[in-house]
Amino acid sequence: MRSAELIARGYTAHALKQACAAGAVSRPARGWIGLPSLDSELRYAVQHGVILTCVSLARRHRLWVRRDSGCHFAVRSRHAHVRVEQHKLHWGRAVRRREPWAVLDSIENALNYVATCESPEDALATWESALKAGLVTREALARYPLSGVARELLEQCTPFSGSGLESYVKRRVASLGLTIVAQAWVLGHRVDFLIEGWLVFEIDGSTHTGEQRDRDNRYDTLLEVNGYGRIRAGYRPVMFEWPRVQAGIMDLISQGQPRPWCRTSPQKRT
């Protein structure tokens, strides 16, 4: 926090100096006061006059970020003379006006940077994670002067993806020219995806064991009895073995919708 703000709230310069001497607070930079718990990212931002943004801000909000690409900072002005070694520095303009001494960017600015900094797939997953978390809405984002890439991304976004993995699956399946509905209700159960109206796609998580597996197996049987296909995939197949998963989807779609099981009436003895 700025020293001037603390003084405006009633603290004296002498009291702040005593607190620093006692180790209760620190001075990460001239004109700033920080608690001992001040983390390295914010300390760096204060010391170098930059703003934490992009995927670094997304991680602080516990949003989906596929990989650690270091710290991302934004400059306060395009005319700033800043050198930030070993970190990513964003020079693009802010779509949401910043407070003069902000060290944490707004989610709107961060997402706008994510759109051009990350791959389209990774950016979509982060954006939908923000929508799902309720940090921002599509309607609110649409009112900002987003970059062209960000605006295209906004058109693809929905707040219905339950995890980052679902964002990848939805985008990839849709690119195959198949209809896909996220979080669909099928036979009294919510499923991750319904493809072409009959193929259920479920993403297996770490809880797909024991009792959960038994429930899933019973539901798989119910789907089969009623003429639905189903396919399951976990984190590794989705993120690292997608061609195999995609081949399985296309095989099932090409074979067509299964027929519901029919009970045959017992034949009468003659």
Q: For 42-62, how does the pLDDT look when each residue is reduced to its tens digit (9 = 90+)? A: 988 888 889 999 999 999 999
> 33-40 long-range contacts, Cβ below 8 Å, gap at least 24?
33/1, 33/2, 33/3, 33/6, 34/1
Of 141, 182, 151, 185, which Cα lies nearest the Cα of 165? 182
How much is the average pLDDT of 203-212? Answer: 68
Q: Which domains does the chain possess?
A: 160-270 (3.40.960.10)
Q: Indicate the pTM of the whole model.
A: 0.81
Give the span between the Cα atoms of 113 and 120, in whole angstroms.
Answer: 12
**199 close to 231: Cβ distance less than 8 angstroms:** yes
264 pLDDT higher than 80 = no
Give the span between the Cα atoms of 36 and 25, in whole angstroms.
Answer: 6
Q: Strands 72-74, 51-52: parallel, antiparallel or unpaired by DSSP?
A: antiparallel
- Give me the helix-helix angle, 164-174 and 120-133, nearest 10°: 130
Where is pLDDT greater, at 137 or 9?
137
**128 close to 157: Cβ distance less than 8 angstroms:** yes
Q: Is 98 exposed, middle or buried (0-12, 13-18, 19+ CB in 10 A)?
A: middle
